[in-house]
Copies of this chain bind each other. A is one copy, B any other.
Amino acid sequence: MSDPLSPIFAALADPTRRAILSMLLEDDMAVTDVAEPFQMSLAAISKHLQVLADAGLISRERRGRVIWCKLEPDALKAASVWMQGFGQFEPVDLDALERFLETELRDDSDEDVP
């Protein structure tokens, strides 16, 4: 794998996929359950999950007829670490964190969970 960062950032560039990651942060989920809040087809969600898996951001494991999706934080960490190479970002600014999580939440509900 010669350029691991590009697929990671590309995967993060879609609000649906970021919403999926947020959901998986809470708990592992079956594909059907991941798809439930969105208004697009199950096949579309399946493709999004494939993109996330290709980027290494999630893994999928079949248990019975259900496939469980699980967050794989290492890939995200790689991207996070690359960003910190740009220095000057104080590790965590809680005010900014709060503001941006709010923004993200509002965007997700506007665009993906009507």
> Which chain A residues have a beta carbon within 8 Å of chain B's beta carbons?
2-7, 9-10, 12-15, 18, 21, 25, 71, 73, 76-89, 91-93, 96-97, 100-101, 103-104, 107, 110-111
Residue from A5, A7, A25 whose CB has the most chain B CB atoms within 10 Å: A5
Whether A15 contacts B21 in the complex (CB less than 8 A), given A81-B100, A97-B85, comes out as no
Chain B, residue nearest A18 (CB):
B5
Q: Are A96 and B77 in contact (CB under 8 A)?
A: yes
Contacts of A110 in B (CB 8 A): 2
Q: List 14 A-B contacts (CB under 8 A).
A: A2-B110, A2-B111, A3-B15, A4-B103, A6-B15, A25-B86, A73-B88, A79-B83, A80-B84, A82-B100, A82-B104, A84-B97, A85-B101, A91-B92
Contacts of A103 in B (CB 8 A): 4-5
Contacts of A80 in B (CB 8 A): 80, 83-84, 89
Q: Give A64 to B103 CA distance when docked, in angstroms.
A: 39
- Indicate which residue in B82, B85, B86 contacts A73 across the interface (CB closer than 8 Å): B86
Whether A81 contacts B96 in the complex (CB less than 8 A), given A13-B10, A13-B13, A73-B89, comes out as yes
